[in-house]
Structure 1
Amino acid sequence: MNLRNPVYAALTGPHASFAEVRGNARRYPTAVAPFLALPDVPTEQDWADAAVLVGSGTTAALMRPALPVPDSFKLELEIDLVQFVAPDSLPAADPEAVVLGADDVPEMLALVALTDPGPFRSRTIELGTYLGVRRDGELIAMAGTRFALSGHTEISAVCTHPSYQGQGLASRLIRAVAHRIDSAGRTPFLHTGAANSAAIRLYRSLGFTLSDEMKVTVAQAV
């Protein structure tokens, strides 16, 4: 099931044009996302190719069920992650949500730095469509699409400025992004940290169901 190895499914599928490739190893350009991908059962050669692809002394992140890291990589960090799939009832357009573009990236990066929803870099916006809400001209909330798989698209970078939290903006943007995903004939899914109880409560309240338990494994190529 491609949801168990979403980065590899994306980089060998709809996001293949982004892939930096060596053998069976794939990665996004570092300005786009920090993620490295390997086949479901990587061989010793796959790991060797990954180490060359990442580059000695450089870190990359794997997102998948737990995978032992070989001597060609130095484990730096592991984060428990949970994956959820959206219900059919989730999508709902939102008239206040606007499509964000390249000119909005500095504000998007500032909002991410303030709220830490997960990796978002200078070219992440190229991966999909990002929606935002503005008040008095200020970007106060956003969400968008990141990994594109066959049949599924990931909702990502869900964040709200601290001064505007508790107003339901995250729920509205999740529904609005899901509406765009659903309109393209795909099913929305997302990830969050297993310890992020507030996010998990929100997603469950919207009808998301747990589909897997995974890890983000950050490792440095030796």
Structure 2
Amino acid sequence: MYIPHKLDNPVWYSLAESHEKLAITYNKTHFYNPEYCAFGAFNAVANDPQDLVLYAKTVPSFFIFGAKPILPESLYVKDELLCYQMIVKQPIVISYVDEITKLNQSHRPELLVLVKIVYPEYFKSKTADLGNYYGIFKDHQLVAITGERMQMDDFIEVSAVITHPDHTGEGYAKQLVAHTANAILKQNKTPFLHVATANNSAIKLYEKLGFNTRTTISNWQIAEK
């Protein structure tokens, strides 16, 4: 008998475990408090469409990880993002060229400015409270970040791999992803991440760092009609 792995349904298990206090539950479906991120998942053969209607009233759009949800007439699939789910199990050994700073509340305004330039749709006002975030500064400007998002008892997601457009190609993402993954491994947890299957440059970077593709997973963006 096939027993689903927790990483097959990372949103559900994050909200059942480490991020339980952030969960909003409608019957069969778990959702994150939308101040943190607009993600949801169901842990059943089929979801109850009315669960999605209730959550849709709180956000402009939201994302369901995993199986395609059954939708009511009032909602539609705005987009499907097919991702590789990748993991790394061994420490990443690289040479660090730049100083990496663990970000705190005083850095939050700069972090949000950077996110809005590069990666606005998934990032909410309290997303950076989901885990640790790290950054690289140049001339007192925050130019690159990486952090932690979904968390389970045994796994933590590496997320928000963001570099300012004026500073790409300088190796910042490589250093930050390695640093973040190694910090997770020091917690005796396994780092994992999601990357769009079409993002070849990022995939090559993660593979060079030692990440292996575990599976593919869909991320369904849902909105009201």
Superposition TM-score, scaled by structure 2 size? 0.88
Partner of 1:71: 72
What's the Cα RMSD here?
A: 2.2
Alpha-carbon separation, structure 1, partners of 2:114 and 2:11: 24
Indicate if the aligned counterparts of 2:34 and 2:59 stay in contact, CA closer than 8 A: no
CA deviations over 1:57-88 (Å, ceiling 9, x no partner): 85211122x42433253221111111101140
Q: 1:117 to 1:204 in 2, by over 3 A?
A: farther
Alpha-carbon separation, structure 2, partners of 1:163 and 1:57: 32
Identity of aligned residues (%): 29
Indicate if the aligned counterparts of 2:50 and 2:72 stay in contact, CA closer than 8 A: no
Unaligned stretches of 5+ residues in structure 1: none
Alignment of 1:38-57 (within 5 A): 38-43=42-47, 46-55=48-57
Give the C-alpha shift of residue 162 in structure 1.
Answer: 2.2
Alpha-carbon separation, structure 2, partners of 1:39 and 1:30: 19
Alignment of 1:65-104 (within 5 A): 66-71=67-72, 73-90=75-92, 96-104=99-107
Give the C-alpha shift of residue 220 in structure 1.
Answer: 2.5
Indicate yes or no: 2:181 matched with 1:172. Answer: no
Further displaced range: 34-43 or 121-130 = 34-43
Give the C-alpha shift of residue 91 in structure 1.
Answer: 6.3
The amino acid across from 1:61 in the alignment is F
How many residue pairs align between the two structures?
219
Give the C-alpha shift of residue 34 in structure 1.
Answer: 1.2
Further displaced range: 107-116 or 143-152 = 107-116
Give the C-alpha shift of residue 11 in structure 1.
Answer: 0.5
List structure 1 runs of 4+ shifted beyond 6 angstroms: none
Give the C-alpha shift of residue 27 in structure 1.
Answer: 1.1
CA deviations over 1:149-202 (Å, ceiling 9, x no partner): 121100000111222222211111111111210111101000011111111111
Alpha-carbon separation, structure 2, partners of 1:104 and 1:199: 26
Alpha-carbon separation, structure 1, partners of 2:172 and 2:84: 22
3-state secondary structure, aligned to 1:195: coil
